[in-house]
Amino acid sequence: MQQPPATTLPDATIPFRRDPYGYARRTADALGTDVFRTRLMLRPAVFFRGAEAAELLYDEQKFTRADAVPGRIGSVLFGKGGVQGLDGDAHRARKAMLMSLMTPQRMEALAGRVREGLTERLARADDLCVGEVARDAIAEAVLHWAGLGDLTGEAAEKKGREMSRLFGHAADAGPVHLRARQTRRRLDAWAAERVTALREGRAAAPEGSALAVTAAWRGPDGEVLVPEVAGVELLNVLRPMVAVALWVEFLVHALAVTGARPATEGERRTFALEVRRLYPFFPVLGARTRGPVSVGGMELPGDSRVLLDVPGTNTHPGTWRDPDRFDPSRFEGAEPGPFDMVPQGGGDFGTGHRCAGEWLTERLMLAALEVFADRVAWTAGTQDLDLTHAAVPPRVRGGMRIRVLGAAA
């Protein structure tokens, strides 16, 4: 069986770093293929894209997640010993613990707090940066929701800023990365101590809260998690919720660019789906082949590093009509298939690595849309609304600033 075509440039590290959201799509288009070989940091790597490739990535018999994400990024973003690096039964058991937090009532309670926190903050300011206000409102709401409600106001906002450093700078280089690494160590120690304090009766947490659940959970071996790993799982819940602030910023960016004001729950849902499709947070999902794997009539050798191109899959012309057009109506009466768009992974929540917080993300985005599309009148003025995709995650150049005009009429 033939191998996938190779890039002419022997190593893609520099072009991929320069354009993490466009490199794979551009290269695949130029080679006329959905799968190609190259090298990253001199080691062989395969990029692929599309729903079929996404489905393949979730085949546990063929791919493993162990060591899939470069250590320097994974250790800051995920920490050590968490659900992301587990496979098989160990993964399923840990994932079920995290999914047990996602009951409709608990998700609605959090969305309600975020909606109120945002509305209050918007009422207090007139000129503001959406991402920062959303981060502060979400951090305070989420800490309360997770059983850490003793942290409020400035203390909660400080924790939110620290957590945003983990996903905001994990992939950066130099001193910014080193600072994120230090922050990770501090947050790991803090989370482990909160778990220990609860176990030793020095603190309390409401039943069913993320702190109570991660501290008390017993794995298939009947043992509780060591405090460091329970803390990593607690942060696995807190950190990405704060990250939703970036998608709130992108929601407002999309509202500003399109001038749309989705008014019904259904319109808000399709608008949020289209934002998640066209404003991906992560550029790739990584895995390794266990043995030789055939894809699109080509063979990948065993122990290959593979990277699923997230924007390339979210805009694959085989799945999406007029793929680059922002058009929420494409989702009217048409739910995306489990692998059609992968901004938070794809497939099954329970058995695969698909994001544990996808339903919650959607609820938080709907709450934010209610505020920005319905409750509050604002203007983005004449600022530059260009997005920069050179960083991971992408950003609105200079931040998404708005001027609040008052309550919506």
Q: Which of 141, 344, 368, 395 binds ligand HEM (CB under 6 A)?
A: 344
> Closest CB to ligand HEM among 6 and 99?
99
What are the b/e assignments for 280-291, b being 16+ CB within 10 Å? bbbbbbbbbbbe
Q: Count of residues binding ligand HEM (CB under 6 A)?
A: 25
353 binds ligand HEM (CB under 6 A): yes
In the bound state, the residue with its beta carbon closest to ligand HEM is: 357
- The pair phi, psi for residue 260, each rounded to 5°, is -75, 150
Shortest distance, position 281 Cβ to ligand HEM, whole Å: 3
> Closest CB to ligand HEM among 28 and 356?
356
Q: Which of 244, 254, 275, 373 binds ligand HEM (CB under 6 A)?
A: 244
Site for ligand HEM in 97-126 (CB under 6 A): 98
243 binds ligand HEM (CB under 6 A): yes
320 binds ligand HEM (CB under 6 A): no
Degrees to nearest 5, angle at CA 126 with 125 and 129: 80
Site for ligand HEM in 354-393 (CB under 6 A): 354-357, 360-361
State both tokens at 126: 């007139």
Site for ligand HEM in 35-94 (CB under 6 A): 83-84
Closest Cα to residue 241, out of 71, 394, 365, 346?
A: 365
> What is Dmax (Cα atoms) for the chain?
64
DSSP string, 220-285: TTSPBPPHHHHHHHHHHHHHHHHHHHHHHHHHHHHHHHH-----SHHHHHHHHHHHHHHS-S-SEE
DSSP symbol at 372: I
Whether residue 320 contacts residue 330, with contact meaning beta carbons closer than 8 Å, is answered with yes
Site for ligand HEM in 281-310 (CB under 6 A): 281-282, 285
Shortest distance, position 342 Cβ to ligand HEM, whole Å: 7
Degrees to nearest 5, angle at CA 159 with 353 and 254: 65
Q: What residues make contact with ligand HEM under the rule CB under 6 A? A: 83-84, 95, 98, 236-237, 240-241, 243-244, 246-247, 281-282, 285, 343-345, 353-357, 360-361
